[in-house]
Amino acid sequence: ADVRGRQVEPFNIVQQEVDIVSERLRHSVSTGIPALKTAAEYFFRHGMEGKRLRPTLALLMSSALSPSAPPPEYLQVDLRPAAEHAPELRRRQQRIAEIAELIHVASLLHDDVIDDAETRRGVVSLNNVMGNKTAILAGDFLLARASVSLAALRNPETVVLMSQVLEHLVSGEIMQMTATSEQLLDLDHYMAKTYCKTASLMANSSRSIAVLAGVAPEVCDMAWSYGRHLGLAFQVVDDLLDLTGSSSVLGKPALNDLRSGLATAPVLFAAQEELELRPLILRRFKQEGDVALAMTLIQRTQGLRRAEELAAHHAKMAAEMIRCLPVAQSDHAEIAREALIQITHKVLTRKK
Ligand code: FPP
Ligand code: MG
Ligand code: MG
């Protein structure tokens, strides 16, 4: 069937199933330890879920590689029938969607402690409400839950992939914290860090979905590559929004990166043209007036435009990976692929 040109709303096709995954997460973080229960539930409350991009990507990738549409009964909002009706493979892939979100939220809880953040997603952060100690333990708890779910899949390859994500998240954070002067100005170092902090989770959960599906190794590579390129595009757009977006739309302070001493892709491009930016980057914008001066200097350059081009390049490569997949075996798979391609466009035009 020709689905090209048909309007596919990517978040809608798997919306119901993402709701099921979220609901299951909300249940699974309820623990017998009252302090942790409140803390862990904090991030899974209704209206606080964020975009749930990672579960959406995982489930769309599952459909994109699937030979047939899943039976409709499995999408019941009542959890038990949902779990029972979903075909075995789909159920296992839903676990990866859950694990990806657990890891993501755990990393945010820890990140907000490290960054001493007051808000997250426009709401007061957990460390701010309950203190650093509880926030760290809540993050650890979510990671523990993710580990149990992962082990329960009894698939060693996905255990390796998702554990590597944890390694990457930590090493990305360390790369950021310990960068030498030379590295601070180096776009390659920046992109390597960005893969670790943002793209690895998307890439490796995408690959895990493919591994569980039992598709050929080249197809697993394409699934990984889609997640990697999309993640890189996503983060470079994030960098741009930090410089160009308004804090009320973003739900966090604007120019947050500069203020916290980070030179992101647009700034590094700008510094290739405008040498005066370099000392500012190296002292992490710590002197009085540095942030405002940096903005003025950046605006004199093609930095923003070059970063837009970089994001567009990665978005295009991500879409290309989907187009290169072996011929879809069902309409269902074709529609999901169209949605995965649309997400590559949406990432570029998002405003928050
Ligand atoms: C957000 O970055 C942070 C991350 C994407 C990863 C953080 C990783 C750790 C804290 C290592 C520990 C990892 C685990 C799995 C517990 P940001 O501060 O640049 O952006 P944001 O605060 O504006 O979202
Ligand atoms: Mg942060
Ligand atoms: Mg951080």
Instruction: Report how far ligand 1's centroid is from the alpha carbon of 5 (Å).
Output: 37
Query: What confidence tier does 305 reach under pLDDT thresholds 50, 70, 90?
Result: very high
Distance CA 308, CA 292 (A): 21
> pLDDT value at position 317?
98
Cα dihedral 206, 208, 210, 216, rounded to 10, equals: 120
Ligand nearest to the CA of 173: 1
- CA of 85 relative to ligand 2 center, distance in Å: 39
How sure is the predictor about 75, in pLDDT bands with cuts at 50, 70 and 90?
Answer: low
Place of tokens 């090493």: 171
Q: Sign (positive/negative) of CA torsion 118, 120, 123, 127?
A: negative
DSSP string, 56-97: HHHHHHHHHT-SSPPPGGGG-SSHHHHHHHS-HHHHHHHHHH
pLDDT at 72: 65
Q: Atom 24, ligand 1: which residue's CA is nearest?
A: 108
Q: Is the C-beta atom of 140 inside 6 A of ligand 1?
A: no
pLDDT tens by residue, 34-64 = 777 877 777 777 666 678 999 999 999 999 9
Maximal CA-CA distance, the chain = 62
ipTM above 0.90, yes or no: yes
Task: State which ligand 1 atom lies nearest to the alpha carbon of 165.
Answer: 15
Atom of ligand 1 nearest to the CA of 111: 10
Task: Verify whether ligand 1 is closer than 6 Å to residue 173 (CB atom).
Answer: yes
Phi, psi for residue 125 in degrees, rounded to 5? -75, 160
Neighbouring CB atoms inside 10 A of 6's CB total: 10
Instruction: Name the residue with tokens 């394409």.
Output: 222
φ/ψ of 14, rounded to 5, equals -110, 15
DSSP symbol at 285: T
- For residue 18, the SS3 value is helix
Q: Could you give the CA distance from residue 37 to residue 59 in angstroms, rounded to a whole number? A: 27
Q: What is the DSSP letter of 185?
A: T
Mutate to test the pocket of ligand 1, among 101, 126, 164, 169 (most ligand atoms within 8 A of CB): 169
Comparing 302 with 81, which gets the higher pLDDT? 302
* Residue 82 reports pLDDT greater than 70: no
Rounded to whole angstroms, how far apart are CA atoms 315 and 299? 24
* pLDDT for the residue 44: 78
Higher pLDDT, 13 or 151: 151
Q: Which two tokens stand for residue 83?
A: 């779990």
Least confident of 11-25, 168-182, 218-232, 288-302: 11-25
Structure tokens, 240: 């741009």
pLDDT tens string 183-196: 999 999 999 999 99
d(C-alpha 227, C-alpha 133), whole Å: 33
Interatomic CA distance for residues 98 and 105, integer angstroms: 11
Q: Answer left, alpha or beta for residue 50, where phi above 0 means left and psi between -120 and 50 means alpha.
A: left
197 lines ligand 1 (CB under 6 A): yes
174 lines ligand 1 (CB under 6 A): no
Would you tell me how many other CB atoms lie within 10 Å of the CB of residue 231? 27
Mutate to test the pocket of ligand 1, among 107, 119, 120, 174 (most ligand atoms within 8 A of CB): 107
Residue 2 has pLDDT above 90, yes or no: no
Q: Which residues have C-beta within 8 Å of that of residue 307, sequence separation ≥ 6?
A: 236, 239, 240, 264, 265, 266, 269
Rounded to the nearest 5°, which phi and psi values hold at 300?
-80, -10
